[in-house]
Amino acid sequence: MDSTVGERFRSEPEQTIAEPARTLDSQDTSTEISNMSATVESRLAVCSWSLQPEGPDDLFESLDQLECRRIQLALSPLIHEPDRWAGVFDVLEKQGIEVVSGMMAMAGEDYTSLESIARTGGVRPDATWEANREHVARIAEQAAEHDINLVTFHAGFLPESNGDGERLVMLRRLAEIADHFATRSVDIAFETGQESAATLLAVLDELDRQNVGVNFDPANMILYGTGDPIEALRRLAINVRQIHIKDATSPAAPGAWGTEVPVGDGAVDWKAFMTEVLGWRRAVDLVIERESGDHRIEDIARAIKVIREVSSD
């Protein structure tokens, strides 16, 4: 790649990063070998927001029901509702809960329809950029303070064309976010689904940041109709920092949403998916996400069972 491409998105003024976060492929051989022996059980975790907790104690009680001691923690509520979430890290530490990563939500996102989220999602809207820029700084500080080494978020619908002016603006904003997290030695990962694997790969290449990767969600590829999740996983493999275990059925018509369903009831071929993941020379966390339904504890427990079964065959 032309080195000038990455330089286009260097934040102004240029920041010097003493200890940038490492990419997965820059890990030493001993780390890779030890990761090969990591069990599926040791990699499973649950998204905190999937449990719809009222606060820290409620979050722990739900995790206790699942006999799960690892979570991806939604960080934005801790900033927006500090009284409600006061002491959450103390509770988690006391109960032996490991925070494997954080999740950051952007301001003003409207998931009512594909059209609304395309317009309002991620860093795309000019109207919410300043609020999001401030939020990024607070999330990065929070993550570093609590030794959270990875934060994921939706970048927004990224235009495919290199000549699209809005695409250039979005990449500059994403570069600024990446550089801010890098100063805190924190990696970030973009959620998959709102664009094709090819478009996301091109964006990662143009950004050219060591601390930027992908949070791979196979269900999102189906929900948004942006490609086969197994093929996308193979194309993005070296960039994957974390995986969301979630399932969905395809949209009934172009331009419509697919439907999220319990793991095992959707279009994801979990046997093929886990065969691919377990063949990698490194381990990434498998974080179960359930964003709909009235029986989330049961659905998450079922997802754990499905992943265990397809991984042990």
- What does the domain layout of the chain look like in residue ranges? 3-11+25-289
Q: What is the mean pLDDT of residues 111-118?
A: 82
The per-residue pLDDT for 165 is 86
Q: What is the mean pLDDT of residues 286-299?
A: 97
Q: What percent of the chain has pLDDT over 90?
A: 75
The per-residue pLDDT for 7 is 55
Is residue 13 over pLDDT 80?
Answer: no
* DSSP letter (8 states) at residue 22: P
Q: What is the mean pLDDT of residues 104-131?
A: 90
For helices 197-207 and 165-182, the axis angle rounded to 10 degrees is 60
The per-residue pLDDT for 10 is 58
H/E stretch holding 298 reads helix 296-312
Rounded to an integer, what distance in angstroms lies between the CA atom of residue 235 and that of residue 221? 13
Residue 6's pLDDT band (boundaries 50, 70, 90)?
low
Q: What is the mean pLDDT of residues 11-16?
A: 41
Rounded to an integer, what distance in angstroms lies between the CA atom of residue 84 and that of residue 78? 8
Residue 2's pLDDT band (boundaries 50, 70, 90)?
very low
The per-residue pLDDT for 179 is 98
**CATH says 3-11+25-289 is which class?**
alpha beta
Strands (E), the chain: 44-47, 70-74, 98-103, 150-153, 187-191, 212-216, 240-245, 247-249, 259-261, 285-288
With CA atoms as reference, report the closest residue to 212 among 191, 194, 193. Answer: 191
Entry pTM: 0.89
Q: Which amino acid is at 184?
A: R
Is residue 193 over pLDDT 90?
Answer: no
Is residue 284 over pLDDT 50?
Answer: yes
- Whose tokens are 């196979």? That residue is 218
Is residue 94 over pLDDT 80?
Answer: yes
The per-residue pLDDT for 164 is 80
